[in-house]
Structure 1
Amino acid sequence: MEGANWWQRLWHIILPQMRGVIEFYVVVSVITMLAAVFSYVYIMGGGRGGPGTSTTVVELYIFNALIRSSLPGIAAAASVLLFLVSVALIFPLFRARRDLEA
């Protein structure tokens, strides 16, 4: 550490120690991005998804299929697809972590 400038300390000491925290934050942020839009669309669009269906997101589609249309099978299928997309976005992060540890 003696003689290291700020960038060297950041790159070789601070960031490697914070790697787990950074990875956790990225995973939580991806999940939040997938789920945070529903409340805005629901409130601004009156629960219908804007004019017509122009602002319908997957979460609103699931909600409408389950609550308004009484189609629990369609809502469950859409929920599974949303889960698979979430896993597809998060899986590379876990794989990169495993590759860095090896």
Structure 2
Amino acid sequence: MVQAITDKEFETVTDSGVTLTDFWATWCGPCRMQTPAIEELEQEMGETVKFSKMDIDQNPATAQSFGIMSIPTLMIKKDGEVVDTIVGYHSKDQVKEVLAKYI
């Protein structure tokens, strides 16, 4: 299962290895479309990538600190550094292709 995280947990969860954080909100239609793709990727790639999601309405500080203006936004970090950001809905295969560059 994709881990739901808070502003307080963000740096700890995403500080090592390859991580993908899905910034979303309950009212966002494209975010709801993105969720199944992320959950499937977590099943396939959970051994090599840590997947998490953050509700920006509940946890606005992290989204604000990274200048996230549109959701869904998928932030990919490697060893604590942001290496890629994907904005808007993307298919499972599209996201997997981006992740493959950092594994």
TM above 0.5, yes or no, is no
Relative to the length of structure 1, the TM-score reads 0.26
| Larger RCO of the pair (alpha carbons < 8 Å, separation 6+) | 2
Q: Which has the higher strand share?
A: 2
Q: Which has the higher helix share?
A: 1
Asked which structure has the greater CA Rg, the reply is: 1
Relative to the length of structure 2, the TM-score reads 0.26
